[in-house]
Amino acid sequence: MELLKKENLKGLPLPDLEKRILEMGHPAFRAKQLYRWIYKERETDFEKMTDLSKDFRKTLQEKFELPQIEVSETHPSDDGTIKYLVKLSDGEQVESVFIPTEGRVTLCVSTQVGCKMACSFCATGYQKFVRDLKAWEIVDQLMSIPHPRPITNIVLMGMGEPFDNYEEVMKALQLFNDPRGLKIGKRHITVSTVGITDKIQSFIDASLGKLAISLHGTTDEQRASIMPINAKFPLPELMDTCRKLKFKGTERITFEYILIKDLNDSDADALRLVKLVQGIPVKINLLAYNENPFIDFKRPSEERVLKFQNILLKHHLTSTYRRSRGRDVAAACGQLRIEAENRLKRKAWEKLKGIPPLHSSTFAPEPVLGA
């Protein structure tokens, strides 16, 4: 007899779960109980949900499942950062990063397998797009990875462009926010986009997290040279959209700016940046490029970064300089997945050639750019 595939109940915000439970002929309060078990208690076995009636548990057991992602590799860094390679139920892999700092513990989550945006400074940008993550796969990076400390902040800055997977990301944000469940809260959630301008106002209106925009260039030409999305949403249009945004409160936009040696790190760039963001409530997050073996860009000196920041500060622009975390564990976005794929390719090649395995964790038989 063919087994019926069970329906996944993870990833439904409470109103959707209530709808599904009502459709089954059970009262809405059952959905609230179930929701608490799934997201507050993080229970995956319906049998252990002891305040649900036996009959209801039996129905849940027969028809539904609460799947979990799996950690396939854990890479702890000397600075406390932990990079995880996460295996999804179809065998695809994404990355999550645990970043402890004083007073907070941030989890950086992925939203897509691969990415369509092809930013030339990003290791993920060189991997082909495979698929969007479902809302449950996004929140499960918080729920099912055994993090050493409770997570207080979430950033959607891992693999993928969140606004290119808008609906599932918005569902995940509802779940991250909900005080009845995961309880992170919108002031502790940041969504980073390359600037898909037609989604920005609706994201602000939904009020489920803070907005960060990857800028990385101060002229249209310069930005286009490293971010292909600039052809669809050019820099002047992006800045115009930001200038016209209607905020409900006193929010401001964070612009992420990665300084790349001799590309966008000059004094002239800093001055152009000051002009570019005039009239927009902003904070600038500076990062120095995180070098990796797959891409040729170089990291500017510490002195150069601080000089760039000083120019912003002199012009009264709030700016922070975030030092890269986990540099010793391939923490550049997408780097770990490339390395894992290379190891698989190496293993397959060895098997084919009858060669005994090489005991290296980062062997790259050939560059996989554009793979």
Residue 252 corresponds to which tokens in the numbers above?
């401001």
Element (H, E) at 197: helix 197-206
Task: Identify which of residues 117 and 263 has a Cβ nearer to ligand SF4 in the complex.
Answer: 117
Task: Identify which of residues 38 and 169 has a Cβ nearer to ligand SF4 in the complex.
Answer: 169
Is 159 within 8 Å of 110 (Cβ atoms)? yes
94 binds ligand SF4 (CB under 6 A): no
* Identified binder of ligand SF4 from the candidate list 194, 204, 253, 338, rule CB under 6 A: 194
333 binds ligand SF4 (CB under 6 A): yes
From the number of C-beta atoms within 10 Å of its C-beta (0-12, 13-18, 19+), residue 314 rates as exposed
Q: How many residues does the chain have?
A: 371
Catalytic, 302? Answer no
How near is the Cβ of 141 to ligand SF4 at its closest, in Å? 15
Task: Identify which of residues 182 and 295 has a Cβ nearer to ligand SF4 in the complex.
Answer: 295
User: Among the options 95, 137, 168, 339, which is catalytic?
Assistant: 95
How near is the Cβ of 126 to ligand SF4 at its closest, in Å? 8
Residue 249 corresponds to which tokens in the numbers above?
């409160």
- Per-residue binding letters, 104-143, with ligand SF4 (x by CB under 6 A): -----------x-xxx--x-xx------------------
* C-alpha–C-alpha distance, residues 268 and 32, integer Å: 56
How near is the Cβ of 104 to ligand SF4 at its closest, in Å? 22
Task: Identify which of residues 13 and 125 has a Cβ nearer to ligand SF4 in the complex.
Answer: 125
How near is the Cβ of 165 to ligand SF4 at its closest, in Å? 11
Give, to the nearest 10 degrees, the angle between helix 135-143 and helix 166-177: 40
Contacting range for ligand SF4; rule: CB under 6 A; set: 51-59, 159-167, 233-241, 363-371? 159-167
User: Among the options 108, 119, 122, 333, which is catalytic?
Assistant: 333
Q: Give φ, ψ of 183 to 5 degrees.
A: 60, 35
Element (H, E) at 272: helix 267-276
* C-alpha–C-alpha distance, residues 131 and 91, integer Å: 12
Catalytic, 168? Answer no
Gyration radius of the chain's alpha carbons:
22
* Identified binder of ligand SF4 from the candidate list 21, 38, 159, 270, rule CB under 6 A: 159
How near is the Cβ of 155 to ligand SF4 at its closest, in Å? 12
Bridge partners (DSSP) of residue 190 are 155, 210
Q: 3-state DSSP: the chain helix, strand, coil percent, rounded to 5?
A: 40, 20, 45
Task: Identify which of residues 34 and 340 has a Cβ nearer to ligand SF4 in the complex.
Answer: 340
- Which strand ranges, in their side-by-side order, compose the sheet holding 189-193? 70-76, 82-87, 93-101, 104-108, 153-156, 189-193, 210-214, 253-259, 282-288, 319-322
* C-alpha–C-alpha distance, residues 368 and 292, integer Å: 13
160 binds ligand SF4 (CB under 6 A): yes
Task: Identify which of residues 121 and 308 has a Cβ nearer to ligand SF4 in the complex.
Answer: 121
Binding residue count for ligand SF4, defined by CB under 6 A: 12
Q: What is the DSSP letter of 148?
A: S
Task: Identify which of residues 117 and 274 has a Cβ nearer to ligand SF4 in the complex.
Answer: 117
Q: Give φ, ψ of 322 to 5 degrees.
A: -90, 115
- Per-residue binding letters, 302-321, with ligand SF4 (x by CB under 6 A): --------------------
* Identified binder of ligand SF4 from the candidate list 161, 168, 256, 265, rule CB under 6 A: 161
Residue 320 has a CB neighbour count (10 Å cut-off) of 12
Residue 289 C-alpha from the chain's centroid: 18
How near is the Cβ of 238 to ligand SF4 at its closest, in Å? 14
Is 280 within 8 Å of 239 (Cβ atoms)? yes
List the interface residues with ligand SF4, window 260-289 (CB under 6 A). Answer: none
How near is the Cβ of 42 to ligand SF4 at its closest, in Å? 28
How near is the Cβ of 333 to ligand SF4 at its closest, in Å? 5
Could you tell me which of 231, 297, 228, 310 has the C-alpha nearest to residue 264?
297
Task: Identify which of residues 30 and 216 has a Cβ nearer to ligand SF4 in the complex.
Answer: 216
Residues that bind ligand SF4 (CB under 6 A): 115, 117-119, 122, 124-125, 159-161, 194, 333
Active-site amino acid positions:
95, 333
